[in-house]
Amino acid sequence: MGIDEAGRGPVIGPMVLCGVAINEEKEGELKKINVKDSKVLTAKKREDLSGKIEKIARHTVVIRVPAHKIDTNRKKGVNLNQIEALKMAEIINMVRPDRVYIDSPSYNSHKFSDYLLSKLEDKNIEIIAENYADKKYPVVSAASIVAKVDRDSQIEKLEKEVGEPIGVGYPHDEVTIKHLEKLARENKGKMPRYVRTSWDTTRQIIRKYEQRKLSGFIKNIVGK
How large a percentage of the chain has pLDDT more than 70? 95
pLDDT per residue as tens digits for the range 127-174: 999 999 999 999 999 999 999 999 999 999 999 999 999 999 999 999
- DSSP string of 12-30, one letter each residue: BS-EEEEEEE--GGGHHHH
Expressed as residue numbers, the domain containing 117 is 2-158
Domain boundary among 107, 123, 158: 158
Alpha carbons 147 and 61: distance in angstroms, whole number: 9
- The answer to whether 60 and 53 have CB atoms below 8 angstroms apart is yes
3-state SS assignment for residue 100: strand
| Same domain (yes/no): 43, 150 | yes
E-only strand ranges, 66-222: 99-103, 126-130
Q: What is the CATH number of the domain that holds 172?
A: 1.10.10.460
The answer on 106 and 21 residing in a single domain is yes
140/173 same-domain check: no
Phi, psi of 129 (to 5 degrees): -110, 120
Model confidence over 4-50: pLDDT tens digits? 999 999 999 999 999 999 999 999 999 999 999 999 999 999 999 99
> Do 6 and 104 share a domain, yes or no?
yes
Quick one: average pLDDT of 188-201?
95
- The last residue of one of the domains, among 158, 175, 206, is 158
pTM above 0.85, yes or no: yes
Cα distances (Å, whole numbers) of residue 217 to 17, 172, 221: 45, 31, 6
How many structural domains comprise the chain?
Answer: 2
Same domain, 120 and 186: no
Q: What is the CATH number of the domain that holds 149?
A: 3.30.420.10
